[in-house]
A and B are shown apart, each in its own frame.
Chain A
Amino acid sequence: MTYLPSGSAAPPSPAAPTLPAVPPQGTPPPGPAVMPERRSARAELTDRLRSASTTEPGRLRIIGAVIAVLVIAFGAVTAWQMAERSSAADDVLHRSAPLSSDAAAIYRSLADANTAAASGFLAANEESPKLRQRYQDDLDMAAEKLSTAAGASRGSGQSARYIEKLNKLLPEFAERIESARTYNRQGLPLGGAYLRNANDLMQNEMLPAAEDLYEAEKKQLNADYADAKAYPWGAIALGVVAIGGLVWAQRRNYRRTNRVFNHGMVVATAAGTVVLLWLAVGHTFAYSGLSGSYDDGVRSLNALNDARISILQARSSENLTLVSRGAVTVPEGKPKAGEDFYDVEFQKQMAALGDKTKGTLGAAWKLSEDEAGDAPVDRTVFAVTEWKKRHTAARTLDNQGNYDAALAGVIGENGDQSKATGDCFDLADKSLDKAIAHEQQDFRSAAEDGRGAMTGLPVGAAVLAVLGATGAVLGIGRRLSEYR
């Protein structure tokens, strides 16, 4: 700022950015005529500014123009940067967060449909209408979420590809499950073969695609968060420069005229200061709101969704251990080679779940911060602990050769599963459902607070900037009129 009064080189700052694009020296460019012409135009401007800066009215004009441009630029950049953040916060709230939770729901309902189908197979003729309904609801949910996701997913080609793949495979999966049921009703083992085929399709193609979709949407959510939370450095810097310029101009005015206030410039300074403060406070609130929604909402939701997927996979593996009767073992050369493949998978999921001190449940426990969030996680941990106990008991029975008792320990007997692992699975699943709903609400209210802190800022900044620039120009004009 200090070089402004000397005015020789710096004043053409509005034009400065365009000049370096045509380097005036050194290069011998196409036409020899171009160079002299440019040089003369530039020289003319410099001459004019030089002559203007030699007189006080001339200097005042330059100062007025520069300050007006700075204030307008400050307002414009603030409006632009905050509009961008506000729309990113909007995306977080209304697009990427719902999309990533939709993607989690797609994964969950697909895994759950597969688990329900395998449970129905294990229960043979005891398959309850409830289990059938659950399978049907899962398929409906997956189809519905896929169509919303297809409509809302932004251009990112990858998400669209995963959605397309899942849309194609879902009816194939359903068809194979229906074949399995038809043959089962006829008492033919071909039904079991179709179920295995459907399970392979789900495990090898559909769930990986759903996981990729979930990851892509999570990435988009994180990117939107980064955009919404980014500091508006450009606006802040311009604000400081504009207010500094105004203060300097008023001090100069005071020194030359001994007048304390120039009303126009005071209004301009006040407007600029209000915008700067609004910007700082508004963004700070938005930042803390969004950070809160991420820490309390998104991170909790991620942990809970991961836990739920582990629970579904564990249940599916537990069922398949009994369906396959030891037919699938861990291949040679891998850890735990020769052990039952599905039981090893079960243990892996249980380890991933952990308890209150470790694993995804530990993370969910640490991240939940109120009574309403604690209670369902607490119940889930309890259910999982009991599940492990009952599972070990059922495995021991199976390994001793008592298959029927092991089966009863997993799916219950005569429609009563209160002593089976299925009971623990249901409790854990329901509790997590509740915890997810609660965290979703926490997330939404925190993110809405964050976005709310930015409401009106873009428009307000624009209006105040125009007001400030007008004030500055009028204030300088008033001084200028004294020379006429």
Chain B
Amino acid sequence: MSATDRQRYAARIRAMAVAGPLSRLRGWGGVAAMALACVLTAAFALLPLHHVSEGPSGTGSQGVADARQALAPAAPACDEAQPDASLGARDIDDGPKIEEIRDRTDKPKNKLVVGIDQNSYLWGYRNPNNGNLEGFDIDLANAIAKAIFGTYTDDNGDEKVNIVFRAVPTNQRIPMIKSGQVDMIVRTMTISCKRKADVAFSTAYFATGQQVLAPDNSKITGFDASLENKKLCVAAGSTAQGALEDKDYGADTPLVVPNQLDCLVRLQLGEVDGVVTDSALAAGQAAQDPTVELKGDPLATEYYGIAMSKDPKAEDLVRRVNHELDQWRKDPAGWKKSYAKWLAVPLGDPGAKAKPPAPNYSD
């Protein structure tokens, strides 16, 4: 990656980090229309169910299944244009989910169990020199756990946040939330309507987009015909995997690995020609290997959010997290500090222009 390339790429990422809130403002106008759409969809979805339950039993069961399928995606009222809309922020401290975490016995008591990655450089990774988990996501998870569950003093007299980290492979993020093995996932997880059918998301905390990463001297130029007959690598269960399933640009069946960083290993070993992942993660890969670079423009802008249980009884945690995210965005020792520490240099140092995406609330 040459110096100019690096700057160009950095400018792109910067543009996205800044463009987040702008595109949001344009979106505000559609809120009323969206609410209307939600009501209508729900009404239409419920209508057939009502009919079927009264209908003849012969076709009834099939009808119910169809109706449920039709109902499922409509239920979370997700607008494809604004998947990042989340529940309104509230400073709740005695909600059912938060109380449950404080008193539980089946999992660490009064400790927030957070699913993270330990392989995403700059985001969530295990520093091999001291064994500690570090990165932007780790900072965020610590800030939220500290605000809600506080700290304790360990045997060595050090102050520790009441948090337990669980490493989660990309394709286990949703199953681990659904099974309750973790309370939340803070792991460069892109908010999407498809995922919102299974989990609840906080408001967005970062803007990114899918991009192709390939060696400097590769003929790949981005999401175009240059991908024809190329072997690409994606992480199982990632947005990139879905994107290539929707449109493959003539590339071979991609190699699917547990983690995006495994893709860089495969690229270095010559087993694949390129890697498709979020530009924010790709920046972390390029920072580890100066002979690879990002090619072409990212696909549509996407947002990272914190995933939590969709259970209505756990709504208090989502609202509280949104509240803490608001604080973190405003706090000079919050978003800005972590951005400066981890991402500013690899993303080309956008300086004061770097801002978190503004929160988008659905109620």
Contact = CB atoms under 8 A, between A and B. Distances in A.
Interface of A: 121-125, 179, 183-185, 187-194, 196-197, 324-329, 338, 399-405, 407
Interface centre among B181, B288, B289 (most CB of A within 10 A): B288
Nearest to A407: B131
A191 B128 contact: yes
29 contacts: A124-B128, A124-B129, A124-B131, A125-B129, A125-B130, A179-B268, A187-B129, A189-B125, A189-B128, A189-B288, A190-B265, A190-B289, A192-B118, A193-B262, A193-B265, A194-B265, A197-B262, A324-B167, A325-B118, A325-B165, A327-B172, A329-B172, A401-B108, A401-B111, A401-B113, A401-B163, A402-B154, A403-B164, A404-B154
Interface in B157-173: 162-169, 172
Contact of B262 (A196, A324, A327): A196
A191 B128 CA distance: 8
B113 to A, nearest CB: 8
Contacts of A188: 121, 128, 288
Interface centre among B165, B169, B261 (most CB of A within 10 A): B261
A251 B200 CA distance: 107
B105 to A, nearest CB: 11
A260 B127 CA distance: 100
A336 to B, nearest CB: 14
Interface centre among A190, A194, A326, A329 (most CB of B within 10 A): A190
A184 B167 CA distance: 19
A184 B118 contact: no
A327 B168 contact: yes
Contacts of A196: 262
Nearest to B116: A325
A51 B213 CA distance: 103
Contacts of B264: 190, 193
A187 B131 CA distance: 10
Contacts of B288: 183, 188-190
Given A124-B129, A124-B131, 11 more contacts: A187-B127, A188-B121, A189-B261, A192-B118, A324-B167, A325-B167, A327-B167, A327-B168, A327-B169, A399-B108, A404-B154
Given A197-B265, A399-B108, A325 B166 contact: yes
Contacts of B169: 327-328
B54 interface: no
A187 B108 contact: no
A325 B164 CA distance: 10
Nearest to A338: B179
Nearest to B112: A401
B163 to A, nearest CB: 8
Contacts of A121: 128
Contacts of B164: 401, 403
A399 B107 CA distance: 7
Nearest to B106: A399
Interface centre among A121, A188, A400, A405 (most CB of B within 10 A): A188
B241 interface: no
Nearest to B132: A124
B310 interface: no
Interface residues of B, number: 36
B309 interface: no
Contacts of B113: 401
B167 A124 contact: no
A190 B266 CA distance: 11
Contacts of B259: 193
B128 A187 contact: yes
Interface string B254-279: 00000101101100110000000000
Contact of A190 (B121, B129, B130): B121
A327 B237 CA distance: 14
A325 B165 CA distance: 8
A189 B119 contact: yes
Per DSSP, are chain A's interface residues mostly helix, strand or loop, or mixed?
helix
Contacts of B162: 401
Interface centre among A122, A179, A327, A405 (most CB of B within 10 A): A327
Contacts of A192: 118-119, 125-126, 128, 261
A234 B194 CA distance: 80
Contact of B131 (A122, A179, A185, A327): A122
B208 interface: no
Contacts of A123: 131
A188 B288 CA distance: 7
A229 to B, nearest CB: 50
B246 interface: no
B128 A326 contact: no
A190 B167 contact: no
Interface centre among A179, A184, A187, A189 (most CB of B within 10 A): A189
A193 B119 contact: yes
Interface string B93-137: 000000000000000100101000011110001111111000000
Contacts of A327: 118, 166-169, 172
B245 interface: no
A180 to B, nearest CB: 9
A188 B131 CA distance: 11
A121 B119 CA distance: 14
Nearest to A324: B167
B80 interface: no
Contacts of B126: 189, 192
B253 to A, nearest CB: 20
Q: Which 3 A-B pairs have the closest CB atoms?
A: A401-B164, A325-B167, A401-B108
Contacts of A403: 164-165
A197 B263 CA distance: 11
Contact of A326 (B108, B154, B166, B265): B166
B363 interface: no
B17 to A, nearest CB: 23
A116 B261 CA distance: 23
Contacts of B108: 399-401
Interface centre among A123, A185, A192 (most CB of B within 10 A): A192
A37 B118 CA distance: 93
Nearest to A127: B128
Contacts of B129: 124-125, 184-185, 187
Contacts of A405: 155
A187 B130 CA distance: 9
A186 to B, nearest CB: 8
A428 B65 CA distance: 58
A398 B125 CA distance: 19
Given A401-B108, A401-B111, A189 B118 contact: yes
Contacts of B181: 326, 338
Contacts of B268: 179
A156 to B, nearest CB: 33
A413 to B, nearest CB: 10
B288 to A, nearest CB: 5
Contact of A189 (B111, B121, B166): B121
A460 B162 CA distance: 85
B347 to A, nearest CB: 17
B18 to A, nearest CB: 28
Contacts of A185: 128-129
Contacts of A179: 268
Interface centre among B120, B165, B265, B268 (most CB of A within 10 A): B265
A481 B350 CA distance: 124
